[in-house]
Amino acid sequence: MKKKVLIVFAHPEPASLNRQLVDVAVQTLQQQGHEVMISDVYGMGWKAVFDEHDFPTRADPDRLYFVQESGHSYSSGRQVADIEAEQQKVLAADAVILQFPLWWYSMPAILKGWVDRVWAYGLAYGYQGAGNRYRYGDGAFKGKRALLSVTVGGPAVDFSPRGINGPLEQLLFPITHGTLFFPGMDVLPTHAIYGTARITAETVAAAKAAWRVRLEHLFEDAPIPFRPQNAGDYPDTHVLASHVAVGQSGLLAHVSHVEMARVPAGADA
Ligand SMILES: Cc1cc2nc3c(=O)[nH]c(=O)nc-3n(C[C@H](O)[C@H](O)[C@H](O)COP(=O)(O)O)c2cc1C
């Protein structure tokens, strides 16, 4: 069935591996009959910094409270145009792909700035004016899929279960769990290409082929089994019940089976 896919990507260089992967994604998804929307954050000259200029009509002119002003702008229909346009794209999408190079264990600042500004109060958090009632599996983006496609300079072994950097899926938890699952998206296991610092033409070809296969299953693959807030594991909506994830604490306790220690699909040694 025809779906809409939004690709948000952060790389200014047309010849980069990241841009090549975006091209592969556009081609593969269109061949499958899907409609592709693009947010090229560098190309758009995206304003990465969330600041007072994002609130031309203030609820409180005396002191800037970001959450309050975000909610006020969103609910009163007075958001700045670039934020609103991106929200409309996300709302129209059945799946959102974030394509980026791993920079200091995370996404480039410009892409973080896309999230900071587009994920408004009332939409991505504080949904329906109900505080934290709808979060982690519930929210405005429920039913949408999300996928991180990440290029990584270091070798896969550095990100293996006992590797020196830690498993990539755990490093990316703030994005997969805290940013995408939070407003309700089903987040697929991260697609990673490792060893990009020393990549050869042959490896690039193999990486593109693996990416194509991954994209062909975008609407079939099982999401990371993050525990939803409102399905019983968190009786008070804050802390895991004592019978859940017994003996576990920390990030992995919020995944219903240990998925996050494995090397992501598409990993290339
Ligand atoms: C600012 C910066 C930070 C980086 N941080 C990491 C890192 O934390 N781990 C890693 O393995 N590679 C890191 N790298 C390497 C990039 O992941 C690598 O350059 C990128 O995947 C190559 O893709 P591209 O050709 O599309 O730019 C970093 C590179 C830059 C420029």
Model pLDDT for residues 66-93, shown as the tens digit of each residue: 999 999 999 999 999 999 999 999 999 9
Measure the CA–CA gap between 176 and 188, rounded to whole angstroms.
9
Query: How far is it between the farthest Cα atoms of the chain?
Result: 58
Task: Return the ∠ at Cα 87 (arms to 126 and 136), rounded to 5°.
Answer: 40
User: Could you tell me if the CB of 201 is within 6 A of ligand 1?
Assistant: no
Averaged pLDDT score across all residues of the chain = 95
Instruction: Among 23, 102, 203, say which to mutate for ligand 1: greatest number of ligand atoms within 8 Å of CB.
Output: 102
User: Could you tell me if the CB of 16 is within 6 A of ligand 1?
Assistant: yes
pLDDT for 265 beyond 50: yes
pLDDT for 152 beyond 70: yes
Query: Which DSSP symbol is given to 52?
Result: G
Residue the block writes with tokens 């990030």: 251
**pLDDT band (50, 70, 90) for residue 268:** very low
User: Could you tell me if the CB of 153 is within 6 A of ligand 1?
Assistant: yes
Residue 158: which of 166, 150, 148, 149 has the closest Cα?
166
Residue 196: which of 135, 161, 165, 154 has the closest Cα?
154
pTM here is: 0.95
Q: Are 251 and 173 in contact (CB under 8 A)?
A: yes
Beta strands at 35-40 and 4-9: parallel, antiparallel or unpaired: parallel
Q: What is the mean pLDDT of residues 122-131?
A: 95
Assigned token pair, 114: 């896309």
Measured in angstroms, how far is the CA atom of residue 105 from the centroid of ligand 1? 9
Question: In order of start, what are the domains of the chain with their CATH numbers?
Answer: 4-254 (3.40.50.360)
Instruction: Among 103, 105, 194, say which to mutate for ligand 1: greatest number of ligand atoms within 8 Å of CB.
Output: 103
Q: What is the mean pLDDT of residues 136-147?
A: 98
Rg (CA), the chain: 19
User: Could you tell me if the CB of 164 is within 6 A of ligand 1?
Assistant: no
Q: What is the mean pLDDT of residues 128-156?
A: 97
Q: What is the mean pLDDT of residues 127-131?
A: 92
Query: Which DSSP symbol is given to 235?
Result: T
User: Could you tell me if the CB of 75 is within 6 A of ligand 1?
Assistant: no
User: Could you tell me if the CB of 33 is within 6 A of ligand 1?
Assistant: no
**pLDDT band (50, 70, 90) for residue 261:** very low
User: Could you tell me if the CB of 208 is within 6 A of ligand 1?
Assistant: no
83's enclosing H/E stretch is helix 81-92
pLDDT at residue number 1: 86
Cα–Cα distances in angstroms (integers) from residue 210 to residues 44, 145, 191, 214, 265, in the given order: 29, 19, 9, 6, 9
Measure the CA–CA gap between 117 and 102, rounded to whole angstroms.
21
Residue 181: which of 231, 220, 217 has the closest Cα?
231
Measure the CA–CA gap between 128 and 125, rounded to whole angstroms.
9
Q: Which atom of ligand 1 is nearest to the CA of 105?
A: 8
Measured in angstroms, how far is the CA atom of residue 194 from the centroid of ligand 1? 10
pLDDT, tens digit, 9 for 90 and up, residues 183-237: 999 999 999 999 999 999 999 999 999 999 999 999 999 999 999 999 999 999 9
